[in-house]
Amino acid sequence: MSVRNTLRAMPTLLRVGFAEAVAYRAEMLIWVLSTTMPLVNMVLWMAVARGAPVGRFGQADFVGYFLATFAVRQLTSSWAAWLINWEVRQGTLAMRLLRPISPLWAYAAENVAGFPMRLIVAVPVMVLSVVLVGDKALPQQAWQWAFFVLAVLGGWAISFLANVTIGALSFFLGSSQKVMEVWLVLYFVCSGYMYPVELLPPTLRTVIDWLPFRYQIGLPVELMTGAHGWREALWLLGAQWAWVALLGVLMVVVWKQGVKRFAAFGG
Amino acid sequence: MVRRYLRLLGIQLKASGLLALQYRADFFTEGLTSLFWTFTALAPLFVVYGERPVVEGWGFGEALLVVGWFTLLQGILEGAINPSLTGVVEHIRKGTLDFVLLKPADAQFLVSTQRFLPWRAFNVLTGLGLFVYAFAQLGRGPSLPGLLSSVLLLCTSTLLLYSLWILTVSAAFFVVRVDNLTHLFTSIFDFARWPSSVFQGVAKGALTLVFTYVIPLALMTTFPAEAMLGRLAPASLVGAVVGSVAFAWVARRVWLRSIGHYTSASS
């Protein structure tokens, strides 16, 4: 399982993943359509902001914010936890383990290969956002674009690593779907998915700044809508990538310990 | 005839009940996750009403009633409607629906009652708890006619929810992979978390019309909440009853037609 082998296998894995994403495009479209929550919240916050702006958010700002949330969610989501749970229970993970490359790379490749299909959904939403809100919906300067791309990558990495870590817990627990549900709830409440985290009281915000969730959705969205100066943005990106590193280490430890316990059922 | 079906229902209920008793620990995990999810539903409510005392004519306590109805119906949906109808999709895919169709009882009745998840009823309790809390916030109780009409509306809401599900499942006869459609449905149901008047500001009230007449979400949560507050017009009550019965009739027609189209997958 050398680095060279892994690198050599990557293009193929990506191609397979992409072909899979294309094959199940209708399914993917339905998944995308079922993430309507940002739209519910957008409408709600527009109603709240009708009379007077909330904080720095007027009605148009909320439209920009939640359309960005929708697009970012498409780009940073991962479903590896369910996949791993399923494969552990069915025993099909044994097949993946026999291959000369770690299943983790395969999961990552499958996820990344879905990107082009997801962009097809995300880009029109961003365009719509520009039409409705104007220039404010997108980063204005080159560095802002760079930071935004970094933040999306970091956001994806956090979701993916957390997904695999929680998925790997199923080696110990039998099924870790409930753990994943708890993670998801915290993610919905703390990530800025339902409301901009800025609107929360200061004490709660400090707590959320220390948790990983905000860096999955909130940070990319804030960078996209240009909410921060570069100094603050740099600081937040640092925090985000610190979480990526931490979760990376955690994932490797949990996965290695877990695989040792794995005995294929069925398979 | 009716007695035979009642006995059949009793048998199916007993089977599901025994199954549920085997997994008693689920009671606590279900309870915990249901509380967690309720909290997510409430989080934006707290944030919104931290900003404004009244949104589109709904105060905090009143909006809380709508969330209570949402939670209660979610319990019914996930405990009584969802499990058996996901079973139908499985039947269609595997081609085992033949065995159901061959039985000397109505197929719709059989598939609708094949499985219940009693522990999910925890959501119903959470919903009732929310009602109590909401009325404590409002500083008064519901009136007796209000309470009676809300019970009546509970029946119509359940009927509507069930009919919508029958329609979704009927689609499974044509597209087979419908488990994603069920996700789509649950995510659209998310709109019912909020009083329907919140959506008035969008597209000149088109959304409110859609949620009242096309996908009757307003009837399911906003109407009962208004009835409890004693401000639902009698005409709306009559409309809800007539509308839901008509809807159920249409769903039944569609189901019968779909059954007619069914050709077994295995043979």
Which residues does chain B have within 8 Å of residue A50's beta carbon, measured at their own beta carbons?
Answer: 201
**pLDDT at position B264, please?**
64
pLDDT at B26 over 80: no
Interface of B with A (CB under 8 A): 29, 33, 36-37, 39-40, 43-44, 47-48, 50-52, 55-56, 177, 180-181, 183-184, 186-188, 190-191, 193-194, 198-202, 207
Secondary element (H or E) of residue A85 = helix A80-90
A26, A48, A195 member nearest B52 (Cβ): A48
* Residue A123 to residues A70, A148, A216, Cα–Cα distance (Å): 11, 14, 19
Q: What is the reported pLDDT for A266?
A: 53
Check residue B267 and give its pLDDT.
46
Q: pLDDT digit string (tens) for B79-96?
A: 888 887 778 877 877 778
Residue A195's pLDDT is 87
**Residue-wise pLDDT tens digits, B125-169:** 888 998 999 999 888 888 888 888 889 999 999 998 889 888 888
DSSP A20-67: HHHHTHHHHHHHHHT--HHHHHHHHHHHHTSSS-BTTB-HHHHHHHHH
Give the pair of three-digit tokens for residue A170.
Answer: 């199923």
CB A142 within 8 A of CB A60: no
- Identify the burial level of A210 via C-beta atoms within 10 angstroms of its C-beta, where 0-12 means exposed, 13-18 middle and 19 or more buried: exposed
> Is B192:B70 a contact under the CB 8 Å cutoff?
yes
User: What is the pLDDT at residue B266?
Assistant: 52
CB spacing of A195 vs B50 below 8 angstroms: no
Smallest CA-to-CA distance from A163 within A107, A210, A215 is with A107
N-term to C-term CA, chain A:
23
pLDDT at B202 over 70: no
The position carrying tokens 């009919």 is B163
pLDDT of residue A267: 45
Residue B58 three-state SS: strand
Give the orientation angle of helix A25-33 with respect to helix B179-189, to 10 degrees: 20
Mean pLDDT of chain B: 82
Structure confidence at residue B180 (pLDDT): 67
Task: Give the pLDDT score at B177.
Answer: 61
Name the H helices within A134-217. 142-168, 170-173, 177-190, 202-210
3-state class of B230 per DSSP?
coil
Residue B258 has pLDDT above 90, yes or no: no
- Nearest-by-CA chain A residue for B32: A182
- Chunked mean pLDDT (size 10), chain A, 267 residues: 79 88 78 80 83 83 90 89 88 85 89 87 87 83 90 94 93 85 87 87 89 92 86 92 95 92 66
Q: Does A234 contact chain B (CB < 8 Å)?
A: no
**Is A33 an interface residue toward B (CB < 8 Å)?**
yes
Q: Quick one: pLDDT band at residue B116, thresholds 50, 70, 90?
A: confident
Nearest chain B residue to A198 by CA distance is B47
Instruction: Tell me if A126 sits within 8 A of A220, measured CB to CB.
Output: no
Cβ pair B154, B224 in contact under 8 A: yes
ipTM: 0.75
pLDDT value for B201? 65
> Which residues on B lie below 8 Å from A51 (Cβ)?
52
| A140–chain B nearest CA distance, Å | 28
Strand partners, B207: none
pTM here? 0.82
Question: Per the structure block, which two tokens stand in for B126?
Answer: 């959470």
The confidence band for B222, taking pLDDT boundaries of 50, 70 and 90, is confident
Q: Residue A158: exposed, middle, or buried by beta-carbon count in 10 A (0-12, 13-18, 19+)?
A: buried
Answer for the pair A207, A201: CB distance below 8 angstroms, yes or no: no
Using DSSP's 3-state secondary structure scheme, residue B104 falls into coil
